Amino acid sequence: MTGPTFALSLLLALPAAAQAPSGVPVEATAAKRQDVPVVLSNIGAVQAYYSVLVRARVDGTLDRVFFTEGQEVKSGDPIAEIDPRPYAAALAAAQAKKAADQALLANARADLVRYSNLARTDFASRQQVDTQTALVAQYQATISGDDAAIETARLNLEFCHITSPIDGRTGLRLVDPGNLIHATDAQGIVIITQLHPIAVVFTLPQDDLPQVQAAIRRGAAPVIASSPDDRTELGRGRLMTIDNQIDQGTGTIKLKAEFANPDDRLWPGQFVNAHIQVDTLRDAVTVPSTALQRGPAGLYVYVVKPDSTVAMVSVEVRQDDGHLAVIAKGVDAGAEVVVNGQLRLQDGSRVAVAKAGS
């Protein structure tokens, strides 16, 4: 058997599946109903909850430094000490001057008593009594000045012993012991930053402000901080406050969120992506974001029909975070939508469907 007769016999002998035209291979999944959080996102920067530049409040030689760089300190812990001897001597001098003025005051009061007694018998003039009264008042004022000088000297002596004003972590030492430092120095001794809790400041477009305000009125608005590539979650916190004005140059509003930061994954100066949940869409129809296609008429998806063909269906999307899209109109829950392989499709194409991820 040769020629056309042989070829026809061979074609008739092939299985029916081999003769049927195969469909375009695609992956598909069913649209689902689920609760979807409404999340607003933007880049933000981590800030210390409190940051203090510890500086000297008096002039002198830096004698000792009590902290190690990177140490956790509590409020009131000793940080450094300035040579206290000049200020101790100044305090002693102020106290001695007060003692001398107190002796003068005591003598002036005694003279005032004597002049007053003599004035009753006209052995002293009224002018002498008035002059002595004024002298007593003068010494009393001098002692009040001495008290102020003593308090100033005592404060200066206390300022020689520098303590931490907050709980936090010390940074790199900015000056070494043995250096002469001044209260006017801008550099300071060390920066202490509070990391527990810590803050993240980020911005959102001014159009998002009503949603954020509504979320605050409903209660605490949760915020998630993630790495710039959004692959690693760095912490979960809550919105603290909204700035009191919109930046007219950029049309954005600043927001500040607080994080407990127990594992120190957030660090001052770090850039993060901030995601704030402002609402939850209940029982929403969702499809993977990869199902969405854009055409001249807008967004659409390919829906797999029971006869293994696809239909191009226009959709309205309420929200799309890059992973999950919420469909407002066009597709109902249960519909099979193509999520991979759309490049070779057109309306009515026959497909060979595999479940997404298989």
Alpha carbons 102 and 34: distance in angstroms, whole number: 85
CATH number, domain 84-159:
1.10.287
Answer whether 274's CB lies under 8 Å from 202's CB. yes
> Given this structure, which CATH class describes domain 54-80+162-194?
mainly beta
For tokens 């296609």, the residue is: 293
Instruction: Look up residue 311 and give its amino acid.
Output: A
Answer whether 64's CB lies under 8 Å from 105's CB. no
Over residues 248-283, the pLDDT tens digits come to: 999 999 999 999 999 999 999 999 999 999 999 999
Alpha carbons 204 and 25: distance in angstroms, whole number: 42
pLDDT of the residue at 114: 81
Q: Which long-range contacts (CB under 8 A, 24 or more apart) does 110-114 make?
A: 111/135, 112/136
**Across residues 343-347, what is the average pLDDT?**
91
In 3D space, the residue among 105, 281, 328, 341 whose CA is nearest the CA of residue 314 turns out to be: 328
Answer whether 291's CB lies under 8 Å from 325's CB. yes
pLDDT band of residue 118 (cuts 50, 70, 90) is: confident
In 3D space, the residue among 235, 258, 252 whose CA is nearest the CA of residue 48 turns out to be: 258
pLDDT of the residue at 12: 47
110-137 burial, b at 16+ Cβ within 10 Å, e below that, comes to: ebbeebeeebeeeebeeebbeebeebbe
234 φ, ψ to 5°? Answer: -105, -20
> DSSP character for 166?
S
Alpha carbons 70 and 81: distance in angstroms, whole number: 19
Fold entry, domain 23-38+283-355? 2.40.420
CB atoms within 10 A of CB 310: 26
**Across residues 334-343, what is the average pLDDT?**
93
With a cut of 80, say whether residue 213 has pLDDT above it.
yes
pLDDT > 70 fraction of the chain, expressed in percent and rounded: 92
Higher pLDDT, 1 or 60: 60
In 3D space, the residue among 52, 96, 89 whose CA is nearest the CA of residue 73 turns out to be: 52
Domain extents for the chain?
23-38+283-355, 40-50+198-282, 54-80+162-194, 84-159
pLDDT > 90 fraction of the chain, expressed in percent and rounded: 81
pLDDT band of residue 354 (cuts 50, 70, 90) is: confident
CB atoms within 10 A of CB 281: 16
pLDDT of the residue at 356: 66
What the block records as the tokens of 157 is 């002596």
The region of weakest confidence among 86-90, 148-152, 318-322 is 318-322
**Across residues 126-141, what is the average pLDDT?**
88
**Across residues 232-258, what is the average pLDDT?**
95
Helix (H, G, I), strand (E, B) or coil at 88: helix
Secondary structure element (H or E) that encloses residue 10, with its range: helix 4-13
> Given this structure, which CATH class describes domain 40-50+198-282?
mainly beta
Q: Judging by DSSP bridges, how do beta strands 351-355 and 24-30 pair with one another? A: parallel
Alpha carbons 237 and 225: distance in angstroms, whole number: 8
